Structures are given as structure tokens and as C-alpha cells.
Amino acid sequence: MKIYLATNNQHKKKEMCELLPEHTILTPADEGIDFNPEETGSTFYENSLIKAKALYEIVKSPVIADDSGICVDALNGAPGIYSSRYAGPDFMKGKPDGSKISQEEQNVFLINQLNNTLKNEKLPSASYLHGERSCHYTCAMVLYCGSDRLFVAQETFEGVLIKDITEQAGNGGFGYDPIVFLPEYQKTVAQISADEKNAISHRGKAVKALKLIIDNLK
């Protein structure tokens, strides 16, 4: 079945093609569609739904949208829904002019912000799954087939933020993956294989939760 993915992020498209090999996954760019809806939601789910509805109104076919990001526990879940726009502690929600910094700069800023927070504040490390450097990815995924056929899954993927940018490792994945360490693998997310990541990641688990519905769409 042809399913539209409400993003032009080719990394996300690659993962979705791996997770749903029985289906044809298309992005707006594949069809020459200008697609850049304003994400005004205050949660991952709200932003995901905004994108799903916007694309469905154009293609009138099943749409999968996800909104995802990294949440650092000691930073009260930041950068969260602003992960792609995050530009350091002075621009937690992105720069006013809408410009974005490089992923490398984002990674450095996030590590340093956590380090400074831990240096200046006493935090109850027992409150966090993997101690005071705990972080997790969140993915809210919407399968949208019209206003009367809406399915949602939200999943997380836990890890630890590395202590210094010199510890980043791996060429796989994308985004913050090189700086998120997985204790059970003793590797960063960027070091594990695509199959391993898809089996345990926030996006992989969300797709699995919706797969039976996806496979039976008519």
C-alpha cells in the first residue's frame, strides 16, 4: 500500500522503509508537494497530528506522521519538542529568525548545558532510570486516514547523554544519536546496527504498535 510520510526528513523515510518494507513510503518531496506546516503544538502528539492532518488534506490517502525528540531528564525534559530547533540554553525553542545551527553544534550545546546544570544543582540521581545523565527519545506517531480514522502510538527510547563531545561515536542513525549512550549495549545509538535500532527505538516501537492496523488498511 502507498502511505505518505508527513516529513521531508530522508533519515526518517529510510527508517520507515526499513520498518514497513511491505509498503511504499512516500514523502511530500517525492510527489513535488511543498510541505512545511507550522508546528504550534505543545506536545509531540499535537505536532504529529498537525502534520498528519495537513498532508492528508492534500493527498487524501493514509498518512503517517511522527513528532520526536530528545528529552534530558535533568533539564526537565528539554529540548523535547524543540529538539530540531534547539540552539543552546539561550535559544531553547530555537532562534527568533528561524535559522538552525548544525547538528554538531546542537550536540555540543546539549552536553555542555547538562554538564553546567549538574555542576550547579544537586539532583537526586536515583530519580532517573540511568542516573543524573539519563535521557530518552520520545516519538508520538499518528496514522491518519481521515477525521473518523485516527490511530496513535507514543513510545520512548532510554539512554545516557555522554559527558564530553570527544566521546561521541558511530556513523549510523542521525540527529543526537552519536551522543546518546546505551548502557545495555555499551555503544552509542549511532554505533548499533539499523536492525538493532529499529527493534528498540522510539520510532521502531511506535511502528510496531500500529503495524497490524497499517497492514490491514483498505
Residue numbers annotated as active site: 67
| Residue the block writes with cell 498528519 | 52
DSSP β-bridge partners for residue 192? none
Q: Do the beta carbons of residue 182 and residue 159 sit within 8 Å? A: yes
Q: Alpha-carbon distance 17 to 95, whole Å?
A: 32
DSSP per-residue codes, 82-146: GTTT--SGGGTT--TT-----HHHHHHHHHHHHHHHHHHS---GGGSTTSTTEEEEEEEEEEESS
Q: To which H or E segment does residue 192 belong?
A: none
Q: Which of 160, 197, 154 is nearest to 73 (CA)?
A: 160
